[in-house]
Structure 1
């Protein structure tokens, strides 16, 4: 199997970039680039100082929910015709996630396995012309640079993720793994100020300040709508643990806090195991749980968001000791079928919609998250030679200096 991945890595890389490009072209030919129109609108509306979060039915359906900083990220793509810009956009986000996964301190075979596990959800995100691959990448990079002791740059990725889509704020938890905690803190303040003010370069300070207030209001309204539209059923968002319980129980009025508070406590509980902080396997598994957590505990999660969670599941999988136990394979297959493939044409449309509208798509990742937390709390990470999925010769994961 190890030889197979060495021989097929070029083919995997080709698919990783080719399939998103084809997805982008498909939407160009169908003239179905609504999400891309919303993204471009963030730049043009900030430039012209018109409300970023209003409805603009002459331009696109739905409304924007990204922060003002997003205008600078989409800005270079606005210079191209849409037919070219859409393809560049989806390939760009595939590239960002690819780079993040390939810098993980793992053997090449493990990295290619992660790519293979994630590729279906990458396609789902690309078909929706979404930014979620980069969201996953920013979280991964915010951990990686802490591990490399480049805290100044680690916080930059946290802050970009936070000022674009809020999800990236979870990267702050990796501060606990930092060996330069004071530097991390002042770097965080530095980047927060810089990124907060940066959109003012193409707009005005007063408009950008108002836009942050408008952004907050839009997120509050969106959260309420995700839970209450059609009693929560039929909404394409809230594909989360909360949505799963609310929709299957028929009680859309259950508060997010009922889930988020205990979920957050569980997510933080493994951090009490201070003696394992510098163990690579512990950190990788905690990174995995963080990537899953940010999706299954968000009422804004939709089918295309799960590239973030499956990146976490893939990292969790390669931290399992070899030989892989049967129950681990069962969970992995459950994710691949119930989360990844359930969004594809392999399933009839009625089943695909059911998985989303009743948040069933989130269930496999929820199970893996609970298992991951349990392993973080119970497993012994003092072993200096953990055996990974593809590491049949009991070679150690390389500890980073």
Structure 2
């Protein structure tokens, strides 16, 4: 069934870039570019040396929650009028994720299938002018470069992700798969120093160092607000496992730690299977679980964040033995409908809002994560089995 995507790859590729461009253009026409204004503000406020995390109601609604390095990433786009910059911005992030997914060691037909699974959530992220496609890409690349023994670049993408949105720090776990662990640690110190200093070239050392303290404070405040706003309901964030339990149970004061500690331990538990560290199928499935983990265990997760999780779900699906069992297809369909399509106009607005406000959107990805962890702990990962599933040879 998956081979049909080989014939449709050009259509998939065109839609992958065209739909985000149209989403960006639609926001320009509606003059609804608040998120983009926040992003531009990171650069200008960094340059002007004024607090990156204060409220600027004359410029945009809400506040910034990205690190100072983000100002350098958005800087080239600030040179364009917003009518062009917004479109370029969303297409840029679509391209970064496209490249990351296309270098995965999968059959070509399976790569196009992965793109097709992710395209709806790519649109959701693009409609919010978000950076999440690149966040997913950086996590994928942090594994890919380790696999290719290019640890210098692996550490770079981990640190970029960390200095921009913290999510990327999970890529450090792939150090365990590295064949050059000592060099990896040296590179980590090198890139930390470089990325820490870089924003200082358009600002000042004292301001940038103070900004990191301000960033920490803003994230703490945001985490509290995500959980407690109107008793945990009526916030568009905390679309996570914690939010799901808090909101459906009616107990909004349940601490994140109740979920994070066991979740973190479960995420690490498969890493005790040392004999599979160099097995490609095990590594890919662990990558899939990590992409889902950073979303369903984050109180900052919102609808547009799920492009990260669905990238993981798509990779998990492709690592299944073929023919794919019915229960796997059922889980995949549940994710497509309950996570991806639930954010679109296919569903009435009342239902869409219910899926977000009660964190139901996170439920299918939570199920896949638990299944993925179980498979990582129980399945055998002989390389001879993986070749038939993950071979990069042409179909």
TM-score normalised by L of structure 2: 0.98
Deviation per CA, 1:71-90, whole angstroms, max 9, x where unpaired? 00000000000000000000
Q: Which residue of 2 aligns with 1:114?
A: 114
Change (3 A) 1:123 1:396: closer
Q: Which residue of 2 aligns with 1:215?
A: 215
The 10-residue stretch of structure 1 (160-169 or 102-111) with the greater mean CA deviation from structure 2: 102-111
Cα deviation for residue 295 of structure 1 reads 0.3
Tell me the SS of whatever aligns to 1:386: helix
Contact 1:65 1:215 in 2 (8 A): yes
Q: Which residue of 1 aligns with 2:91?
A: 91
Tell me the SS of whatever aligns to 1:370: helix
| Counterpart-to-counterpart distance in 1, 2:11 and 2:137 | 22
Change (3 A) 1:366 1:29: same
1:153 aligns with 2:124: no
Contact 1:240 1:296 in 2 (8 A): yes
> Would you say how many aligned residue pairs link Structure 1 and Structure 2?
393
| Counterpart-to-counterpart distance in 2, 1:140 and 1:2 | 22
Deviation per CA, 1:223-248, whole angstroms, max 9, x where unpaired? 00000001111100000000000001
CA root-mean-square deviation: 1.1
Q: Which residue of 1 aligns with 2:264?
A: 264
Change (3 A) 1:266 1:344: same
**Correspondence 1:122-133 to 2 at 5 A:** 122-133=122-133
**Correspondence 1:329-348 to 2 at 5 A:** 329-348=329-348
Cα deviation for residue 213 of structure 1 reads 0.4
1:372 aligns with 2:366: no
Q: Which residue of 2 aligns with 1:135?
A: 135
Cα deviation for residue 197 of structure 1 reads 1.0
| Counterpart-to-counterpart distance in 2, 1:236 and 1:398 | 40
Change (3 A) 1:395 1:240: closer
Change (3 A) 1:322 1:15: same
Tell me the SS of whatever aligns to 2:386: coil
**Correspondence 1:6-85 to 2 at 5 A:** 6-85=6-85
| Counterpart-to-counterpart distance in 2, 1:377 and 1:3 | 30
Unaligned stretches of 5+ in structure 2? Answer: none
Deviation per CA, 1:289-347, whole angstroms, max 9, x where unpaired? 00000000000000000000000000000000011111101100000000000000000
Change (3 A) 1:7 1:54: same
Contact 1:385 1:397 in 2 (8 A): no
| Counterpart-to-counterpart distance in 1, 2:301 and 2:101 | 22
Q: Which residue of 2 aligns with 1:390?
A: none
Cα deviation for residue 382 of structure 1 reads 1.7
Contact 1:384 1:396 in 2 (8 A): no
Contact 1:132 1:308 in 2 (8 A): yes
| Counterpart-to-counterpart distance in 1, 2:239 and 2:16 | 25
Contact 1:107 1:397 in 2 (8 A): yes
Unaligned stretches of 5+ in structure 1? Answer: 388-393
Deviation per CA, 1:144-181, whole angstroms, max 9, x where unpaired? 00000000100000000000000000000000000000
| Counterpart-to-counterpart distance in 1, 2:241 and 2:257 | 12
Q: Which residue of 1 aligns with 2:351?
A: 351
| Counterpart-to-counterpart distance in 1, 2:358 and 2:207 | 39
Contact 2:105 2:390 in 1 (8 A): no
| Counterpart-to-counterpart distance in 1, 2:389 and 2:268 | 30
Tell me the SS of whatever aligns to 1:385: helix
| Counterpart-to-counterpart distance in 2, 1:323 and 1:106 | 16
Tell me the SS of whatever aligns to 1:19: helix
Cα deviation for residue 386 of structure 1 reads 3.0
Tell me the SS of whatever aligns to 2:36: helix
1:295 aligns with 2:289: no
Q: Which residue of 1 aligns with 2:189?
A: 189
Contact 1:226 1:299 in 2 (8 A): yes
Tell me the SS of whatever aligns to 2:171: helix
Cα deviation for residue 398 of structure 1 reads 5.1
| Counterpart-to-counterpart distance in 2, 1:290 and 1:11 | 29
| Counterpart-to-counterpart distance in 1, 2:241 and 2:173 | 21
Q: Which residue of 2 aligns with 1:397?
A: 391
Tell me the SS of whatever aligns to 1:384: helix
| Counterpart-to-counterpart distance in 2, 1:329 and 1:396 | 18
